[in-house]
Structure 1
Amino acid sequence: METQTSSLKEKWEVLKQLKPQLRIRNAADELNVTEVELLALNCGENVTRLKPEFTAILAEVEALGKVMALTRNDDVVHERKGVYLNPSLENPHVGLFVGEDIDLRIFFASWGSAFAVVENAEEKPRKSLQFFAKDGEAIHKIYLTPLSNDAVFDQIVEKYKSDDQSSIIITEPKAALPAEKADSEIDVASFQEGWRNLTDTHHFFGLLRKNGLTRTQALRLAPEGNYAVKVSNNALREVVTTAAERETPIMVFVGNPGMIQIHTGPVKKLMDHGDWFNVLDPDFNLHVKESSIADSWIVRKPSEDGTVTALECFDKKGNQIAQLFGKRKPGIPELEEWRAIVQEVENKLKLNN
């Protein structure tokens, strides 16, 4: 095993020489390993393996002050600066941080490992706490900013440092997506009735599970009307661009199996870079690989506060990679300005389902 890790480290060093700008996630893809396997190679150098006491570590990050929270999947990166406020970490399955800036939904079942990383930078070392799934994929990263408390970071590292600082890490195979049932096996009438009778959008997931539906299948089998409307895959660009032009505050949800991260507020500075469509605001950055969006749907769900309207984007495997709403809170109807934007995009980009 030690020989294997030495060989992998040598291959990574060669790759870094050839492609010095290559990020670790992309390097892992090129070397056919997981990101956490590459990261662990530097344990004892600039990487410290932490004890897998995830809730305890997260309970201490508020004291870091203003940081940058990063959550991503293969195709969308969500970066939000702020302070980790109002934690709810008692439930072993689901945790929360609910602040105006850092807003997270945490699903601990897939969490597998944690590390502290200190990367060399021109001005000062870049410090981060990084959390990975059991399959080696990155779940969430917390980067210090110039306004963060470095001493607290050092205390967290010392307190939660693992006795095991080897470069070897065992990962589990990536969980396969559940097979989609044939439409003929679904009680479509019952599902559609459940959708029409929703009073809380959070109950939609339970409705899918009860009826044995994947999310994209559910959208295909939505009730008649405008409950789910398929649109072309430049809908996200259109929605974000129009929201920026009209200064309409939106909510942007991006996640992976272990985390959903939410931005609530305006978006302003938009920019293209290669395949990526970007929001580059001071406290919020979003990077979307547009070519990976395989399906886009405008989705409407009834609630006690009226209809809630979303744009949902999926990759070719049916994974939801981003979800957008107008800014709203429970008890408050969604913004009419948001509804107008979505309706205009629907009128412009609607496809024949």
Structure 2
Amino acid sequence: MTNNTPAALRAARLSSTLRDRDLAAELGVTEAALLAAQTGADVVRIDSGVDRLIPAVQELGEVMALTRNDSTVHERVGRYLDFRPGNHAAGVFGPEIDLRLFPAHWCHAFAVTRQTERGTTRSVQVFDAAGDAVHKVHLREGSDVGAFQRLIDTLRLDLQDDGFAADPRKPAEELRTNPEKLDELREAWRRMTDTHQFMRLTGRLGMNRLGAYRGVGAPFVRALDPRLSGDLLRRLAETGQEVILFVGNRGCIQIHWGPVERIVPSGPWINVLDPRFNLHLRADRVAEVWAVEKPTRRGPALSVEAFDKDGTLLYQIFGKRNETEDHTESWARLVAELPDAAEVPA
């Protein structure tokens, strides 16, 4: 689209039935730019600061939290509870909505009210500097509409501009490995006592997550068949195996604790459609899957992790741990039965 003025974007929005994300892609603009063009009575620019925004969201009651990357969408119903602020990383630690927030990427936010065939919808939508979605909060039938209006009144920005100046989108991180440091990686990997030590370790050795996986080899990692995501979710549903399932982007990671039950494929999408948890995965975009085992004080932490062709992490799944152990035998057996990759990525 060559004419992407706010007026042209508003006209395009009125004439289309597509979702904002799909329409923005069709028009060649960011989702935030499309939303900003609608600024007015029903789309209000609000303070995106985590320390102000999340306490206001807590007042909404039960809502649906949504975090996504290009190929995976994670939706969880619940309340925002136990918010813990932080300059580099903050978190929401409720029993249903569990988030890790990275405030540097919470750059633009909007409170959105829309009239649809199903009635009035209300949401809070947060975007990064490039205009890509970081996190969204959708009100439900039982949410506190009065609290939503108070959120708007309290966080409304003085400047309600319908334009949007996007920073350049940062490219996916290039694969980083360091062959000269692989023996050091293996030795340090064996000494890990907590999974959170892993990223500090790889950074110190000049690697990133996928680069370390490709280089470290057995017994630490195993390359799996990249086509297994649908079968894995179905196995989880059939066995009742409870998991910890992470989906994220640069600004937010959203975590589901519990089972996955109803698996519904639709074209390239594999969907988990449970009453309070939904997952939507573009399985055709999964390029690599790894089984990864990291030592902890409470035993081995075993995960299945999927990446796209650019090396972006799409999801991580761990077996749901108990109070004393970071693993379960049933999860270990399930992962052991997953098929290997025909070729190990190099």
TM-score by length of 1: 0.92
Task: Describe how 1:79-94 pairs up with structure 2 within 5 A.
Answer: 79-89=75-85, 91-94=86-89
Task: Describe how 1:115-264 pairs up with structure 2 within 5 A.
Answer: 115-181=110-176, 183-184=178-179, 186-225=180-219, 227-264=220-257
Match of 1:4 in 2: 5
> Is structure 2 residue 31 aligned with structure 1 residue 49?
no
Calculate percent identity across the aligned residue pairs. 35
Task: Describe how 1:90-105 pairs up with structure 2 within 5 A.
Answer: 91-105=86-100
Rounded Cα–Cα distance in structure 2 between residues aligned with 1:278 and 1:78: 10
Rounded Cα–Cα distance in structure 2 between residues aligned with 1:215 and 1:320: 9
> Is structure 2 residue 19 aligned with structure 1 residue 26?
no
Match of 1:78 in 2: 74
Structure 1 unmatched runs, 5+: none
Tell me how large the CA RMSD over aligned residues is.
Answer: 1.7
Match of 1:38 in 2: 34
Q: Look up the SS of the partner of 2:299 in the other structure.
A: coil
Aligned length: 342
Match of 2:56 in 1: 60
Offset of 1:183 from its aligned partner?
4.2
Q: 1:106 to 1:26 in 2, by over 3 A?
A: same
Q: Look up the SS of the partner of 1:139 in the other structure.
A: strand
Match of 2:108 in 1: 113
Rounded Cα–Cα distance in structure 1 between residues aligned with 2:100 and 2:156: 25
Contact 1:54/1:114 (<8 A) preserved: no
Structure 2 unmatched runs, 5+: none
Q: 1:181 to 1:127 in 2, by over 3 A?
A: closer
Q: 1:332 to 1:181 in 2, by over 3 A?
A: closer
> Is structure 2 residue 326 aligned with structure 1 residue 326?
no
One-letter code of the match for 1:62?
Answer: Q
Match of 1:299 in 2: 292
Query: Could you report, residue by residue, the CA deviation over 1:291-343 in whole angstroms, capped at 9, with x for unpaired residues?
Result: 11111111111111111111100011101011111112564231211111111
